[in-house]
Amino acid sequence: MLPGFTVEVLPEIDSTNTELMRRARAGQTDPVLLVAERQTAGRGRLGRTWSSGGDAVSTQALPPSLTFSLGLPLAPTDWSGLSLAVGLSAVESLHPALQLKWPNDVWLQDRKLAGILIETASVGEVRYAVIGVGINMVLPDGQGLRTPPAALCEVLPGIDAPATLGLVVAPLVRAIQRFVAEGFAPLRQAFHARDLLYGRELVCSDGVVGVARGVDAQGALLLHTDAGLKKITSAEVSVRLVPSANLP
């Protein structure tokens, strides 16, 4: 599917996304999967950190998390909805109980199990995309986290990081190639089936409150507010659930 594709597994790195972005800016735009057994400076959306586990869980039989970045040149007609397409591919590859929290998180029972971070760099006439994914393999210490954590072992007991990687990577490449060819619109119905937020009351970081009504054909969040239907893009705001809200 990806001529010239390589896989690298490193014992430790600051961030797989950061490393592939460094390489891209240095002119390396070949397709590559970079996997880290441990990240020391993992990053999430809006500058948040992503922990790949520390000494407290290093003695467990399973690694605390799976962190990898897929880097490849991309030229979609419209980039809108790419993070949703990536998340949808991941949950469909892993387990029916997993849901998607717009725009880039995988949740299990109202707890965060995985995160996605997409970055791009222009290298000459090439646009290079770096798609980073972090999945909790075992339950991390939730102290100090904004969101209660979940772990893949809760729904797939005994699964390890290599097996998880084997489940998600090939379907992810196919999903990205389909996204490039067709955009997000054909995935809208499948996303709706996994939509954690639909029908629930949300508050945006800009103070807007409303009830989620799914996503549009470009992947923008549709929010029913007192002022009418509002479209939210990931570039504008982040959203969080209003506590104890689960509206029809």
Residue range 72-88, pLDDT digits in tens: 999 999 999 999 999 99
The whole-number average pLDDT for the span 223-246 is 80
248: CB partners within 8 A, 6+ apart: 199
Q: Which of 22, 25, 174, 240 is catalytic?
A: 240
Residues 138, 139, 140, 144, Cα dihedral to 10°: 160
Q: What is the dihedral of CA 13, 169, 29, 23, to 10 degrees?
A: -10
Element of type H or E holding 229: strand 228-232
CB atoms within 10 A of CB 78: 14
Worst-scoring range by mean pLDDT, 47-61, 131-145, 163-177, 203-217?
A: 47-61
Which residues, 6+ apart, have CB-to-CB distance to 59 below 8 Å?
A: none
Residue among 16, 31, 191 at smallest CA distance from 103 = 191
Q: Is 112 a catalytic residue?
A: yes
Active site residue 231: no
Q: Residue 46 pLDDT more than 70?
A: no
**Ramachandran sector of residue 125 (left: φ over 0; alpha: ψ -120 to 50; beta: rest):** alpha
CA–CA dist 70, 58 (Å, integer)? 25
User: Which amino acid is located at 72 in the chain?
Assistant: L
- The predicted pLDDT at position 28 comes to 94
The per-residue pLDDT for 142 is: 79
- Write down the catalytic residue from 43, 101, 112, 188: 112
Q: Which is nearest to 93 in space by CA: 27, 157, 175, 202?
A: 175
Phi-psi region of 226 (alpha: psi -120 to 50; beta: other; left: phi over 0): alpha
Q: Which two tokens stand for residue 229?
A: 């239907």
Which one of the listed residues 38, 45, 111, 230 is annotated catalytic?
Answer: 45
Assess whether pLDDT exceeds 80 at residue 30. yes
Looking at residue 20, what is its pLDDT?
97
Least confident among 91-95, 198-202, 230-234: 230-234
Higher pLDDT among residues 38 and 127, named by residue: 127
Asked whether residue 24 carries a pLDDT value surpassing 70, the answer given is: yes
Question: Is the entire prediction scored with pTM above 0.85?
Answer: yes
pLDDT tens profile 146-168: 889 999 999 999 999 999 999 99
| 240 carries an active-site annotation | yes
| Element containing residue 181 per DSSP (H, E) | helix 161-182
pLDDT grade for 42, boundaries at 50, 70 and 90: low
β-bridge mates for residue 89, sequence order: none
| Closest residue by Cα to residue 56 from 125, 141, 166 | 141
Tell me the pLDDT band of 63, cut-offs 50, 70 and 90. Answer: low
